[in-house]
Every structure is written in C-alpha cells, then in structure tokens.
A and B are shown apart, each in its own frame.
Chain A
Amino acid sequence: MAPSLEEPTQVDFDAPIKAAPKLVAPEPEHCPGPESLQAGNADSCAGCPNQKICASAPKGPDPDLDVIKSRLTTVKHKLLVLSGKGGVGKSTFSTMLAHAFASNPDRTIGLMDTDICGPSIPKMMGVEEESIHETAGGLEPVWVNENLAVMSIQFMLPNRDDAVIWRGPKKNGMIKRFLMGVTWGELDFLIVDTPPGTSDEHLSVNSFLKASGIDGAVLVSTPQEVSLLDVRKEIDFCRKAKIPIIGIVENMSGFVCPGCKHESQIFRPSTGGARRLAEDEKIPFLGAVPLDPRIGMACDYGESFLDAYPDSPACRAIIGVVQRVAEEMGLKGQEVLLDTEQI
C-alpha cells in the first residue's frame, strides 16, 4: 500500500473540547481526538477499540474549562512566550520578562513552564531544589521572591535528572493541572513559557486559556534562517489559533568579542533576520538582544541578569524590549517598570 501524500489535515481550533474519556488502546492514525465532538462517530473511528468509549462519553464542553476560567479571573494579563525553534531563548526571555515586571513591588507575577520534557525555568530562577506543597486550596507555586511565583514539572520529579517520557494526553493533563489546580492567587501577569513546536502543549494552552482570554504572544527567534523558518510556522499557528501576536524579539543578535570589541554575526541574518520577518508578516519588531556570554552564566547560576549587570548593553536592550511589550499590550512602560534606571 502506497502511503498518501495528502495535505496534512489541520486541527479545528474552534471546536469546543470536552473531557477526554479513558481509552483502552492507543488512538488510531486519523483519530479526531477523544475530546473532540466527533469522537466515536468519525469515519476513522470504525474498528477502533475505543469507539464505544468515545461515543458514549458525555458530550458538550469540558466542565474543567469553567473551573480554569474561574480560577484565572484573578489574573489580569496572560502572555505566551512562543517560538517554533528550540534553544533560541524562550525560557531565558520569559525569566527576564518576569524579573523585569517584578521589579515593580506593586505587581505580582506568575511564570508557568509548560515544557514538560525539558523544563528550564526552575534552574534559571535558582529554585531547582524546591518541591511542591499541596494545600487544601490546591498546589502552591514556588515563590522566587515576594511577588514572583513559578510553576514547573521539575518541582514534582523525585530526582532532578529523571526523564519525563510522556505522550501528548498525559502532558495535556499536567498543563491542565497547572492552570486548574494551582493557587495562583491575584496576579497582574501570568507568563506562560512553552516548549518548541506547534503540538499538544500549544494546542492545550490555547484551548484552556481561550475562555479567559490571552493578551498575546511574544515570539522569540535567533537571526539565522534555519530558526526563522520554524518561527514562520509559529506565526501561522498563532494566526490559525487567533492568538494575537504582540511582536517578535531577535535574540543572540551579534556578538561583541570581549578581547577586541569587534562585533561578529555568529548566527548570520542572511535573510534579513527577525526584523525583516516582522516587516514581511506585518507584526511589531520588539528589538534585538545581543549575545552576551554572561546571560547564559546568569541563567546557569539562577541569578537575574538584569540585577547582576544593569549597565551592560544586553541589559539595556532587554529593558527596551520589555517596555515595548508593555506598550503593545496597551500599558504604559513606566507603569510596568517602576524605575527603568534602577533595574
């Protein structure tokens, strides 16, 4: 049998999702998804051992969506940090954004790490050794300081280096738990850091947060085309999922040799970099952050780069980007960053 070369079918973003029933066998190839409305009745369901279970499961929207919505009514702004490509600095940028927002003591920030297989946020925040406490109200997030809370699967692992070998549905369940079962409390910003790609985690975050509204997504890229290629796919994803795009940040843009101050383009922007992509796609360009080895070191040691090297060009670039993010969200830069001179 020759395999088909048909165009990949796309996920229906507008379909309301319902609670996924417990399955007895892996889903078949063209499975409409056990949480979709056609579950058990689609053409591809014929012969699937799960068919009866899916068909008889209660229809209608997932009741958990309402729980998530009511849980998140106390969260003012929800921001996603996305990139199709891995290792471009999504987590680094998420932590910087969180630290910068939290520099205003009147704001409370939550940072949620939805990268289930490769969580980096706890290490970058210097809270890798923490574990989760469960209270009557739900899971308590880990507080980095008085106004900055973090949640990640890393806190739940018995050993630091354990691999989380999970298929999609299990990852979705964990993300739901992060949104539904965590006592986030009153938050001004919830920043959601995502893994690379356009798959389960992204679809779940989108469908779980849709009801309570996503303010927008910040896209992160490095300057070379290999990376931009994947970010283009992420833009396509945001458009299809109707997630507003706040803008794109170019990370690792240029490297200044500490020896001779000569600037090299390590990751050459041969196609014009993120700036050009932003123009082509008509989305805001938020700024370029140079490659500074000290950013990586600060992340390795779990320190805030913004606090450690406030005078570096990279720090100034990041503050500029954070202000642009705030402006694009319709907030005044000064309102968000208490005093840009001091951070």
Chain B
Amino acid sequence: MPLDNIQNIVLVLSGKGGVGKSSITTQLALAFSLQGHSVGVLDIDLTGPSIPRFFGIEDSKVRQAPGGWLPVPVHDARTLPSPKNTNGTTSHTKNGKIGALSCMSLGFILPNRGDAVIWRGPKKTAMVRQFLTDVLWPPLDYLLIDTPPGTSDEHISLLENLLKQTNFSISPPNQLAGAVVVTTPQAISISDVKKELNFCKKTGIRVLGVVENMAGFVCPNCSECTNVFSKGGGEIMARDFDVPFLGSVPIDPAFVQLIEEGTRPVYPKGTVIEGKDISSEKNDINSAGNELLVDKYRDCSLCPLFDGIVSKLVADIRSRNQ
C-alpha cells in the first residue's frame, strides 16, 4: 500500500483562499522537521500550486521510478550547526537534529511555471487519486496535505481516497490524524471557514485545531501593532465550534522576505517577542546562499510560535494513538 510508510496524515484546510494555507503548511513542515520528525508535504492545489515556491524548489522536477513518482527532497535528516543566536531554540530543537523533508506538487510536473492547468472535475479527481496512490514516499512520521480553497472536487476525492486507504487492518492506528483549519481574523474569511468546519463535521474528519493567520502586523519602524485584518475572530470561531485553538500568527515581513528572496530574517534592535529579545546584527547577511531554508527559518520570529503549535499537535496525536 502506498501510504503504509506514513505514520500520521494531517490535512491543512480552509474554505477561503489566500489565508495562508500553504504558508502555514510550510511552517508546520519546517517546525516538524526541526523537532526531528521526518515530514512529507503533498500539495493538491492543482490550478494554483504554491508549495514549490515556498520551499524555493521551483526548478525541481519529479523523477519517475519503477512503480511511481519520487517526491522532491528539500533536505535530508542531519544535524544543523548550533544557531548563531539562540532565540528560536527550545528543548525540542536544541540538539540540532532535523528530520528529512520532501515535497510533491503538480508544479513539479508542469513544463512551464506560467502554464495554466485548465481541468474540469473528473481530471482533478484522477490527479488527486494518483497523488495518493503513486507517490513513493520515504518512511514518514508526518504527511502534511496542503489543499486548495473550497469544498469541492479535490476535497471530496481526497477524503474518499484517504478514508478508503487508511482503513486497512495493516494501516498504522489512527493514520488519518485530522485537519488543521486556517483562517484570517476578518468576518468575511470566518464565514467561509465555518463552511469548512461543517465540511469536516459532515465527513467525520477530526479538527486538530484552528490557526488564525495574519493576526496583526508590527510596524518595523515604530513597533506599533496594527490589526490589518482585525483580530480574535479565529479564537471565537474555534470556541463556537468546540474545537481547539492552536494560536494566532502575526504577519512577519521577514518571513515573506525569507520565502521570496531567501534572506535570513533579521530584526531591528529592541524587537522583543514573548519576553525574548530576538534582534540580531546585520553582519552575516552575505553569508547566505547555500544555507538550508530550515536553518534560516530558525531565526524567524514565527519559529518559536510554530514550535509550540507543533508540540501541541504532536502531543494530541500521540495521546490518540495510544
């Protein structure tokens, strides 16, 4: 069975587009890896795949092997050099051992990055099924599945196939762990995401928790926090639907810059987040280049936040598996 190597499958869902599903998926994957787990990321957004861009591997192509596709490796399991500044480290990440990370996306198959994939439902359904049956994943602790917005063809086929494939007696227990639902704080986004929560309810997928993304923006000039897309909506929604709230993630331009330009995040002097001074000197900015994304991500202010979210998820999933 193709998914036998995988211990836990976590879906990342949202009814609304552009709330940061791919960004959250990327950061969850990096945080899982930093805690030493081996992770795979499957991108089933067929008409707008973003995962290749987020991991900076847009030029990579999928390789074919007897029996299926080989996912694109991002980094292998190794020990990272100890970080220059110790703001992002916690007890989980201190030894610097990271787990392997690999990705699969339709973006790796398209000949040109600007090409549109103009497919109707049945074709998308078939592609999603292929992604679930024909990808030769290495042994994984966690497989994160990034989805397109909505509750349509991709989602229906994803769940149909997953429920079928994770129900064998030889499958790891509780293999389909559940879904992380992403929202932004505005009412417009919340009302679409409520539909997604009802979708989970209807299909019997456990909601592992809600993440509120783009909650506040800290002005790099005056350190004043503005709630660009208002605030607190995600937490209220989680309470209304009686699902765990995993945390609020602010907008961090340094993270955007890390993804878009690959520069190691630096923060001006005096930037303090949750009682820790995370400012750093701008001296080693030119040393970048061949450093791993995951290494640079350790300097990002969002890293400790996602470390916490992942610790919560791991504890939750482990308690269910026993």
Q: Which residues on A are within 8 Å of B, measured CB to CB? A: 1-3, 5, 7-8, 10-11, 26-31, 33, 84-88, 91, 116-120, 123-124, 128, 160-169, 171, 195-200, 202-203, 222, 224-227, 229-230, 232-237, 240, 255, 257-260, 262, 264-268, 270-271, 291, 293, 296-297, 299-300
Contacts and interface: CB of A to CB of B under 8 A. Distances in A.
B217 A255 contact: yes
B260 A268 contact: yes
A30 B126 CA distance: 8
16 contacts: A3-B69, A11-B118, A28-B126, A85-B18, A86-B48, A118-B149, A120-B188, A123-B188, A161-B195, A165-B152, A171-B152, A198-B47, A226-B22, A229-B53, A233-B117, A265-B253
A1 B191 CA distance: 43
Contact of A257 (B48, B122, B221, B229): B221
Interface in B176-204: 184, 186-189, 191-192, 194-199, 202-203
B321 to A, nearest CB: 28
A151 to B, nearest CB: 18
Contacts of B295: none
B47 A260 contact: no
Nearest to A31: B122
Interface of B: 15-19, 22, 46-48, 50, 53-54, 62, 64-69, 109-111, 113-126, 130, 134, 148-153, 155-156, 184, 186-189, 191-192, 194-199, 202-203, 217, 219-222, 224, 226-230, 251, 253, 256-257, 259-261
A54 to B, nearest CB: 13
Contacts of A233: 47-48, 114-117
Given A165-B202, A199-B119, A236-B115, A2 B67 contact: yes
A226 B120 contact: no
Contacts of A27: 121-122
Contact of B110 (A8, A167, A240): A8
A257 to B, nearest CB: 4
A270 B259 CA distance: 10
B257 A10 contact: no
A258 B188 contact: no
A267 B121 contact: no
Contacts of B253: 264-266, 268
Contacts of B203: 165
A87 B222 contact: no
A293 B226 CA distance: 9
B108 to A, nearest CB: 10
